[in-house]
Amino acid sequence: MSDTSVNKIKVKLVGEGNEKWPMLEILWDFFSEKGVKTVFMSVGTDSNPHADLEIAETLGCPLHIFEVRESALSNWESVQTILKSRKQMETTNDFLTNVEKKWVLPKNIRIHKELPSPFTGTAILNGTSYPTKDVLSCAQDCISSMALKEDQLRIDILKISLGNAYELPILQAVLTSGFRPGMILINWSNLPDENLASCITAGHLQTCGYTLFAHYGNHFLYISNDRCMYEICSWHVNTIDNPMISEIVKDCTNPSRQNVTSN
């Protein structure tokens, strides 16, 4: 993991054990204007909950867990119980280790028993059919539970750790629905440089306005930069191979731009 990311903003690791994620050291500063109203959507479950809890603990915001697998749901319900009692349960497992040390309000663990998707229906995961809900409705559920207004509909932090390459349709659905989270964390089932589907999705993500800040193993941290490369050209043009590349080359060979650069 590199800490010499864009603009020299330092990156640290959050989480516990082997389940660590890269995160901005200035996470609170990044979301301070929203603070407790930050909409944090976490899809799927890591081998332990500490990265999710540390993010929610830093911001004081609700943690919206979207999960359908019974074992994971049971673990998150146990997390709520531990946070309420402030002590470990008599019957525990590795997932719950040190959860009692986290200062997250139990009411701020919001469990949604469906998976975000391009559509409301069902999806097959590990051979089992699970309920899905369209991304717009998922976001609406989040802001409704936080008593935010409809004009505040958004996703501020999106974290996906589901496996089975299910991050691909979820990410596509989020972007296609018009959401641009300020921060996206992805546990790639297959690394983008080693798998075509992941490569296409990662390329699309960075082309439509995100910068890869850091990665730790398969855990990648992306930050919105508000520069959608797709918007610099017309996609109706059929006289060139790629309108976007053509616009970039044109800009680079523009004499006025060269003069500005040389100055």
Confidence of residue 254 (pLDDT cuts 50, 70, 90): confident
Q: For residue 8, what pLDDT is reported? A: 73
Do 142 and 44 belong to one domain?
Answer: yes
Do 63 and 40 belong to one domain?
Answer: yes
Q: How far apart are CA 111 and CA 129, in angstroms?
A: 19
Place of tokens 């349709």: 169
The pTM of this model reads 0.91
Query: How does strand 40-44 pair with strand 19-24?
Result: unpaired
Helices (H), the chain: 27-31, 50-59, 70-85, 135-145, 167-176, 196-207, 243-252, 255-262
Q: How far apart are CA 83 and CA 71, in angstroms?
A: 19
- Cβ contact 185:160 at 8 Å: yes
- Cβ contact 247:209 at 8 Å: no
Q: How far apart are CA 12 and CA 20, in angstroms?
A: 10
Closest CA to 118 of 133, 138, 129: 133
Q: For residue 252, what pLDDT is reported? A: 83
Which residue range(s) make up the domain with 239?
233-263
pLDDT above 50 for 235: yes
pLDDT above 70 for 228: yes
Beta bridge partners of 109: 63
Domains of the chain: total: 2
**Segment 206-215, tens digit of pLDDT:** 999 999 999 9
Q: How far apart are CA 30 and CA 10, in angstroms?
A: 12
**Segment 126-179, tens digit of pLDDT:** 889 999 999 999 999 999 999 999 888 999 999 999 999 999 999 999 999 999
Confidence of residue 89 (pLDDT cuts 50, 70, 90): confident
Using DSSP's 3-state secondary structure scheme, residue 55 falls into helix
Do 253 and 140 belong to one domain?
Answer: no
Instruction: Flag whether 1 is in a domain.
Output: no
Q: What does the angle CA 170 – CA 19 – CA 67 come to, to the nearest 5 degrees?
A: 35
- % pLDDT > 70, the chain: 94
Helices 196-207 and 167-176, axial angle in degrees (round to 10) = 30
Instruction: Flag whether 66 is in a domain.
Output: yes
Instruction: Flag whether 220 is in a domain.
Output: yes
Do 188 and 74 belong to one domain?
Answer: yes
**Segment 24-81, tens digit of pLDDT:** 999 999 999 999 999 999 999 999 999 999 999 999 999 999 999 999 999 999 999 9
Instruction: Flag whether 142 is in a domain.
Output: yes
Q: How far apart are CA 60 and CA 62, in angstroms?
A: 7
CATH number of the CATH domain containing 23: 3.40.50
Q: For residue 4, what pLDDT is reported? A: 39
Radius of gyration of the chain (CA): 20
Do 150 and 162 belong to one domain?
Answer: yes
Do 190 and 249 belong to one domain?
Answer: no
Do 47 and 120 belong to one domain?
Answer: yes
Summarize the chain as % helix, strand, coil (round to 5).
40, 25, 35
Do 150 and 199 belong to one domain?
Answer: yes
Instruction: Flag whether 51 is in a domain.
Output: yes
Do 209 and 250 belong to one domain?
Answer: no
Do 209 and 259 belong to one domain?
Answer: no
Name the strand (E) or helix (H) holding 162.
none
Beta bridge partners of 123: 130
Name the strand (E) or helix (H) holding 110.
strand 109-112
Do 198 and 242 belong to one domain?
Answer: no
Report the chain's mean pLDDT, rounded to a whole number: 92
Do 224 and 243 belong to one domain?
Answer: no
Instruction: Provide mean pLDDT across the span 232-261.
Output: 81
